[in-house]
A and B are shown apart, each in its own frame.
Chain A
Amino acid sequence: MEVLKSPLSASQKGKLISAGYTSINLLSSVSPSHLALELKISEAEALEILKTVSDGSRSESTSTSCTIVKGAQSAWDMLQEEETLVRITTSSSDFDNILGGGISCKEVTEIGGVPGIGKTQLGIQLAVNVQIPFDYGGLGGKAIYIDTEGSFMVERALQIAEACGDDMAEYSRLYRKGFHSHEVKIQPKDFLENIFYFRVCSYTEQIALINYLDKFITDHKDVKVVIIDSITFHFRQDFDDMALRTRLLGGMALKLMKLARKFGVAVVVLNQVTTKYSDGSFHLALALGDSWSHASTNRIILHWNGNERYAYIDKSPSLRSASAPYSVTGKGIRDSPSNNKRIKNM
């Protein structure tokens, strides 16, 4: 490894290179006092440099023993892992079908759509559904809800939580007669207790919070879904420097992906729509531009199709492009009432 690429400060790198240490291997047999003399720095600082450098090179050498590149996985291992991947149900079976069972953990899923189509509703629904216990085929996790727009309605969360509790009671009554009859119904209060709500008021807070999530989830290991409603809001106001915007969004996207992989949480990012001019006419498209569209693993667009709401998979590495109807009811997201078998494959 070259000194230039090591995680040292610029001036330290400069000193090393000008003293002739262009590769880290050259430093392996140098003593701290010798280095201090040569670079005209204090011995403590020299020791610090040697430590940083040896940390870097050690991780490189050990890695060759098991796999070719450190931190990599073979495709076979990934398949094994994918098969055990848990998914969060959307409460609409058609919607779940096209998603291959629900919103997948370990991935970033972006959901966009016109105002009033049900983005926030879906967000709240997922925050509740993630808590369905293992016995009922759920994850038994907790949820983080990051509200950037102030559109989260507590009363609505209560309604959805109540409906979810009722459905579970119904389920156990039908399928497990006598089995777990003593089981207590989960109260809506318990659902709401497990949703951590953050209200973000500026883009700086948004970046800070996403940085901090790493620590927060380490402390709250049972968090299984992070919902950001919406990623767009603060980045569409008060922003003159478009290059800065792209850079900040890019950094945020990377951190979200890292978070999803590291903790196995589902990251759900809600996005707004905007009009985009192409081929001589205006079309609707998700906001934040083309470079952002690479940021998420899966992209789902919610849209109107005639009288019904449809979810359309716009982009996904593993799912085929399909659309399915769903509806928003008093209980939350549910199957569309009129048809049960009309999933179109495009």
Chain B
Amino acid sequence: MANKLISEMGLPKSIGHIFAARNIITAKDALSLTEFELMELLDVSLTQVTLAVALISEIASPPYQTVQSLLEQRMQNEYLTGHLPTHLKGLDAALSGGIPFGALTELVGPAGIGKTQFCLKISVLATLPSCYGGLDGHVIYIDVESKFSSRRLIEIGLNSFPEIFHLEGMAKEMAGRITVLRPGSLSEFTESLQKIKVSLLQNQVKLLVVDSMAALVSGEYEQGPPRQHPLGWHISFIKSLAEFSRIPVVMTNQVRSRSATEISNYSFQGERRDDCGNFDSHLVAALGIHWAHAVTIRLVLESRSGKRFIKVAKSPMSPPLSFPFKITSSGILLLNDDGIEMRGPQINAIDHQGHSDIILS
């Protein structure tokens, strides 16, 4: 609505022409100026400007809905009340049904912990026919790190849903629904996002996976906080994609070691000893705090004393729970469906104790 034309807003003719003459064409042009700047520029009186701005604002404002009508709409139109179940019972319960539609869900963790495995598993789930608890749709998988493996995908399918994948031609049908894109640089990624926008609506796409977001900007990002985030545009674009096509979006994020100057305190808290020191963890998510504000759900995958854990680190619905898991031939499996509730700095810490043992075994 920002680009709505002023000439089509039904302003009084006289003032409408003045706007056009001064090359103020859209609502965005007009609202980026203060009322006094407009007075100067258009050479009209204050009352006229205020009236015009009020009218432009009214038309450019988005419409409202009551939350009740929003809720009813979702209940009616959406299968599974807008969640893609992960088939991990404990996690699904915590997220009230699974990965939500219309929001960003992020997986963070050290290399080899199982982020890609998780992505492959949910890709299979999204393609399954709805009678098996899937979304019966297509998947777009943006594979930045070249880690996507079709063989592994089919293996996961065969082992977790043998009754479907053993049917003649079904493996082909299911795997055929997953489109893999491999952008090599940030600009290629930007391009593919724009292409996706169109096909999302046409092709019954029910899931978007980006593995990983961090690989796109690693290197250029780490030196000090830049004024503008290199992914600023992408963040808002992907968020709007998710929302307007009402699909779940899953993205992965890498980890990096915390640099010495980084302090996670406010200045009023004073120089305190770092809380996370106790946890023997010096890892932080590779994409910084700006990115973390944008995701709705953050799942941290980590290893503690030789065990893998998946925890809900940020979620509007769920308490911070942590579940132990293992990786099997059928993908990720929870060892225990009752999560352990985390407290304080534990919630956001990314542990990698005994991580190498897991990877080697």
Residues of A in contact with B (beta carbons under 8 Å apart)? 7-12, 52, 114-116, 120-121, 144-145, 149-151, 153-159, 189, 192-205, 207-209, 211-212, 214-215, 230, 232-234, 236-240, 242, 244, 247-248, 251, 272-275, 277-278, 281-285, 301, 303-308, 312, 314, 328-330, 346
Bound-complex Cα distance A257 to B275 (A): 38
Q: Is the CB of A274 within 8 A of B266?
A: no
Q: Is the CB of B264 within 8 A of A212?
A: no
Bound-complex Cα distance A145 to B348 (A): 28
Q: Is the CB of B43 within 8 A of A11?
A: yes
Q: Is the CB of A7 within 8 A of B348?
A: no
Contact of B267 among A120, A195, A283 (CB under 8 A): A283
Rounded to whole Å, the gap between the CB of A324 and the closest CB of chain B is 14
Stretch at the interface among B62-70, B124-132, B156-164, B211-219: B62-70
Name 15 interchain pairs, CB-CB below 8 A, sorted by A. Answer: A115-B298, A116-B292, A116-B315, A157-B71, A198-B63, A202-B28, A207-B57, A237-B232, A238-B236, A277-B225, A278-B267, A284-B265, A285-B267, A303-B269, A304-B345
Q: What is the 8 Å Cβ interface bit string for chain B, positions 253-276, against chain A (1 contact, 0 not)?
A: 000000001111111110000010
Q: Is the CB of B264 within 8 A of A158?
A: no
Which 7 residue pairs across A and B have the least CB separation, nearest first? A307-B344, A211-B57, A116-B314, A7-B46, A204-B2, A208-B60, A237-B232
Bound-complex Cα distance A274 to B264 (A): 10
Q: Is the CB of A236 within 8 A of B71?
A: no
Contact of B45 among A12, A275, A282, A314 (CB under 8 A): A12
Q: Is the CB of A283 within 8 A of B236?
A: no
Which residues of chain B are within 8 angstroms of A283 by Cβ–Cβ distance?
263, 265-267
Bound-complex Cα distance A196 to B66 (A): 5
Rounded to whole Å, the gap between the CB of B105 and the closest CB of chain A is 12
Which residues of chain A are within 8 angstroms of B266 by Cβ–Cβ distance?
283-285, 301, 303, 312
Bound-complex Cα distance A203 to B293 (A): 17
Which residues of chain A are within 8 angstroms of B100 by Cβ–Cβ distance?
153
Contact of A274 among B27, B225, B295 (CB under 8 A): B225
Is B188 part of the contact surface with A, judged by Cβ < 8 Å?
A: no
Also in contact, A196 and B64, with CB within 8 A (given A151-B103, A205-B2, A307-B343): yes
Also in contact, A199 and B347, with CB within 8 A (given A237-B229, A274-B225): no
Rounded to whole Å, the gap between the CB of A316 and the closest CB of chain B is 13
Bound-complex Cα distance A291 to B293 (A): 22
Which residues of chain B are within 8 angstroms of A312 by Cβ–Cβ distance?
266, 268
Which residues of chain A are within 8 angstroms of B17 by Cβ–Cβ distance?
none
Also in contact, A156 and B268, with CB within 8 A (given A150-B239, A196-B64): no
Q: Is the CB of A281 within 8 A of B243?
A: no
Q: Is the CB of A9 within 8 A of B45?
A: yes
Contact of B40 among A10, A274, A282 (CB under 8 A): A10
Q: Is the CB of A204 within 8 A of B66?
A: no
Q: Is the CB of A201 within 8 A of B62?
A: yes
Q: Which of B24-78 contact A (CB under 8 A)?
A: 27-28, 31-32, 34, 39-40, 42-48, 53-54, 56-68, 70-71, 74
Q: Is the CB of A197 within 8 A of B343?
A: no
Also in contact, A204 and B27, with CB within 8 A (given A153-B316, A209-B57): yes
Contact of A156 among B27, B239, B317 (CB under 8 A): B317
Q: Is the CB of B62 within 8 A of A200?
A: yes
Q: How many A-B residue pairs have CB under 8 A?
A: 227
Rounded to whole Å, the gap between the CB of B192 and the closest CB of chain A is 19
Residues of B in contact with A (beta carbons under 8 Å apart)? 1-2, 27-28, 31-32, 34, 39-40, 42-48, 53-54, 56-68, 70-71, 74, 81, 96, 100, 102-103, 224-225, 227-229, 232-233, 235-236, 239-240, 242-243, 261-269, 275, 288-290, 292-296, 298, 313-317, 319, 343-348
Rounded to whole Å, the gap between the CB of B255 and the closest CB of chain A is 16
Which residues of chain B are within 8 angstroms of A116 by Cβ–Cβ distance?
292, 298, 313-315, 347-348
Q: Is the CB of A273 within 8 A of B289?
A: yes
Q: List 19 other contacts, CB 8 Å, given A115-B292, A195-B66, A278-B267.
A: A9-B43, A12-B45, A116-B314, A149-B293, A150-B103, A192-B68, A198-B61, A199-B243, A201-B1, A204-B1, A208-B2, A208-B57, A209-B62, A236-B232, A272-B290, A275-B288, A281-B261, A281-B263, A305-B269
Contact of B71 among A11, A158, A194, A301 (CB under 8 A): A158
Which residues of chain B are within 8 angstroms of A121 by Cβ–Cβ distance?
316
Which residues of chain B are within 8 angstroms of A200 by Cβ–Cβ distance?
62
Which residues of chain B are within 8 angstroms of A275 by Cβ–Cβ distance?
225, 262, 288-289
Which residues of chain A are within 8 angstroms of B263 by Cβ–Cβ distance?
281-284
Q: Is the CB of B239 within 8 A of A215?
A: no
Rounded to whole Å, the gap between the CB of A51 and the closest CB of chain B is 10
Which residues of chain A are within 8 angstroms of B314 by Cβ–Cβ distance?
115-116
Q: Is the CB of A237 within 8 A of B32?
A: no
Bound-complex Cα distance A239 to B54 (A): 25
Q: Is the CB of B57 within 8 A of A151?
A: no
Also in contact, A304 and B344, with CB within 8 A (given A12-B45, A209-B57): yes
Which residues of chain A are within 8 angstroms of B235 by Cβ–Cβ distance?
237
Bound-complex Cα distance A256 to B66 (A): 22
Bound-complex Cα distance A308 to B275 (A): 12
Which residues of chain A are within 8 angstroms of B61 by Cβ–Cβ distance?
198, 205, 208-209, 211-212
Q: Is the CB of A195 within 8 A of B47?
A: no
Contact of A7 among B47, B62, B268, B343 (CB under 8 A): B47
Contact of A208 among B27, B68, B71 (CB under 8 A): B27
